[in-house]
Amino acid sequence: MAWFKRTGTNIQTEERKEMPEGIWVKVPTTGEMVHRRELEENSWVDPASGYHFSIGSKEYFNILFDNNRFVELGSEIRPGDPLQFTDRKPYAARLVETQKKTGLTDALRSAVGQINGQDLVVACMDFRFIGGSMGSVVGERIAIAIDYAREHRFPLLIISQTGGARMMESVLSLMQMAKTSAKLALLAEAKVPYISLMTDPTTGGVTASYAMLGDVNLAEPGALIGFAGPRVIRQTIGRDLPEGFQTAEYLLEHGFVDLIVPRPKLKIRLTRIIKLLQHKYVE
């Protein structure tokens, strides 16, 4: 039984562009065409303009893990529909449809491998799966990754790319904010390093929980980072927002982000940060 049914069509949505297909790829900001192989070799960043194309866990794992070798954690955890939620379509049907379309089982994958010879646990979100929304499975897979990192004393990296909490799971989704934050507190007590990487976009309940709790908070250039989106804030306060509001650069200037890292330099920068944090914790 659904909690409500929609009537009318006055629904505004923002659809994120899928990874472009074809040999030649158009850069949205410049209109220039770039060979796909050149983008792949440059971590899906346009060499000329620095534009960062949206990528998912498959691409991030390939960029970070040595020889793309890793062991996935928590992949057996699958989403359900405990509230029997229905909006424009049943949530259960939406899950099946999205799983077939993306080849993913939910909006986050966790894995353990090595980065430049150093052990690392990575939890990476996928925006393609219902806007990277945080549901029960996302929270549980993060919890599994944190527990593994704490038990083995491996550094943890969480890569956020999300529109926030998954409304179809209501309070079960919101509970993941407290759950993941509590798990990260245990990781900090164990003195195991945690690095957060915020990509475009990182918003909603994820920003209000694990995305901002890193020992070091990183961001990709130009990433939108915030709790509510700029459009919602503008409509709420009835004022124009500062230029570049909620971009990674704006947050760096105001002290909410520690470092902006271009994706082609991510692996080497992470390696250095991990070494520094491990040295600090050993002391």
Taking only the tens of pLDDT, the chain with its 283 residues reads 333 344 443 333 334 445 556 799 999 999 999 999 999 999 999 999 999 999 999 999 999 999 999 999 999 999 999 999 999 899 999 999 999 999 999 999 999 999 999 999 999 999 999 999 999 999 999 999 999 999 999 999 999 999 999 999 999 999 999 999 999 999 999 999 999 999 999 999 999 999 999 999 999 999 999 998 888 888 899 888 888 899 999 999 999 999 999 999 999 999 999 999 987 665 5
Query: 23-39 b/e with 16+ CB inside 10 Å = b?
Result: eebebeeeeeebeeeeb
The CATH number that domain 56-78+105-282 falls under is: 3.90.226.10
Distance CA 115, CA 128 (A): 25
| CB neighbours of residue 231 within 10 Å | 11
User: CA angle 46-59-268, nearest 5°?
Assistant: 75
Secondary structure E strands in 24-75: 24-26, 33-35, 70-73
Backbone φ and ψ for 261, nearest 5 degrees, come out as: -125, 115
User: What is the domain partition of the chain in residue ranges?
Assistant: 24-53, 56-78+105-282
- Is the preceding omega at residue 201 within 30 degrees of 0, hence cis? yes
pTM: 0.90
Secondary structure letter of residue 228 according to DSSP: S
By CB neighbour count within 10 A (0-12 exposed, 13-18 middle, 19+ buried), where does 213 fall? middle
Structure tokens at 203: 């918003």
Distance CA 239, CA 59 (A): 39
Report residue 160 CA to chain centroid gap: 2
